[in-house]
């Protein structure tokens, strides 16, 4: 189905929910499918790409730097954001993005949004509405305008609900409160701009499962979210398999290369340059002797190496 190009007026109407086709503040499923049309796999009922659990699991082990290089080589230059405060430095988050956009509150807009939400059975402030939509493996990603004072999107109560639903964490271009309580949720993590004791004020959710900006990064619903100490990278769903496979291959190559350097079999110049046939042959023999080092099926690795320029 061919979809029309949306005008700014239509986009704003979708965002603020004035069209009958927009439920809550979500964009229509057809529009979400259009925006993520490069994805050819399974989708959630809401239209988000459904990256496989296996790829999400494997993504936890890859390096952000390697993922960044793959994306940059494909022209995806706006997918990483750093400069975060983190609840747990040693807890990685990896999952599928469910996005939310917040704007400064305005009485007429907030009233209309909340009135319609009440008719749909929505309960509580609008910052809890995206949480109601979360499922296992999701990462709640919100553009909270970078607001810190009175920009606290969640505290430990909502964080416990998020973790119970997703087994994951959050990425907020905003702040959170109750750091002590957040730090006591095993497995939970939050990448935020800061921590603040204030309550959320003068902010309203205006978009759920809509494209958002997080700092210098663009995030679409269903993107793979990978958060580690150095920052957060958002991988478009259709790029996840290539990013994960390439990062895993590079990690294998590096393990082999380090071992060869320690054994003195090859020089740094040989390892860091285009590999010779002899070096490739030794690498394949190393793979045969170390099958437990391979994070993917060997057949998958062999197929990948056929296309690889060494």
Please say whether the beta carbons of 175 and 84 come within 8 A: no
* Residue ranges with strand state E in 138-193: 138-152, 170-176, 190-192
Chain-centroid distance, C-alpha 2: 28
Cα separations in angstroms, 28 against 13, 31, 139, 165: 12, 5, 20, 24
Gap between the Cα atoms of 219 and 36, Å rounded: 11
- CB neighbours of residue 105 within 10 Å: 15
Give the residue ranges of the annotated binding site for Mg(2+). Answer: 178
Q: Which two structure tokens, joined as six digits, stand for 235?
A: 């991988």
Query: Would you state the structure tokens that stand for residue 13, as one six-digit string?
Result: 């109407």
Q: What distance in Å separates the CA atoms of residue 174 and residue 150, rounded to the nearest whole number?
A: 9
* d(C-alpha 30, C-alpha 202), whole Å: 31
Question: Which of the 8 DSSP states describes residue 185?
Answer: S
Quick check: 34 and 41 in contact, CB under 8 A? Answer: no
Ordered alpha helix ranges (H), 144-263: 156-166, 179-182, 240-263
Of the candidates 41, 17, 43, 165, the one whose C-alpha atom is nearest the C-alpha of residue 101 is 17
CA 104 and chain centroid, separation: 24
Q: Which of 20, 22, 28, 21 is nearest to 46 (CA)?
A: 28
Q: Residues marked as binding? A: 155-158, 177-178
- Binding site for substrate, by residue number, is 155-158, 177
């Amino acid at each position: 189905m061919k979809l029309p190009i949306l005008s700014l007026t239509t986009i704003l109407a979708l965002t603020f929910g004035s069209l009958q086709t927009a439920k809550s503040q979500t964009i229509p499923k057809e529009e979400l499918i259009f925006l993520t049309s490069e994805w050819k796999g399974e989708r959630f009922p809401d239209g988000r790409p459904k990256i496989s659990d296996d790829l999400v699991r494997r993504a936890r082990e890859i390096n952000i730097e390697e993922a960044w290089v793959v994306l940059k080589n494909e022209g995806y230059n706006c997918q990483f954001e750093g400069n975060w405060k983190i609840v747990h430095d040693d807890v990685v988050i990896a999952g599928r993005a469910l996005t939310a956009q917040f704007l400064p509150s305005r009485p007429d807009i907030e009233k209309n949004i909340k009135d319609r939400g009440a008719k749909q059975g929505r309960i509580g402030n609008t910052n809890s509405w995206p949480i109601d939509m979360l499922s296992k493996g999701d990462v709640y990603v919100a553009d909270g305008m970078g607001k810190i004072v009175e920009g606290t999107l969640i505290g430990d109560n909502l964080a416990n609900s998020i973790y119970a639903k997703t087994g994951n964490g959050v990425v907020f271009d905003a702040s959170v409160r109750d750091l002590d309580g957040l730090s006591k949720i095993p497995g939970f993590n939050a990448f935020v701009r800061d921590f603040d004791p204030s309550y959320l004020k003068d902010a309203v959710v205006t978009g759920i499962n809509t494209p958002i900006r997080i700092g210098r990064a663009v995030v679409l619903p269903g993107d793979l979210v990978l958060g580690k100490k150095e920052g957060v990278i958002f991988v478009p769903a259709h790029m996840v398999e290539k990013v994960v496979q390439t990062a895993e291959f590079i990690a294998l190559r590096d393990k082999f290369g380090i071992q060869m350097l320690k054994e003195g079999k090859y020089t740094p110049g040989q390892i860091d340059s285009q590999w010779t046939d002899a070096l490739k042959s030794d690498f394949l023999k190393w793979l045969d002797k170390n099958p437990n080092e391979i994070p993917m099926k060997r057949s998958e690795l062999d197929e990948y190496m056929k296309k690889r320029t060494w």
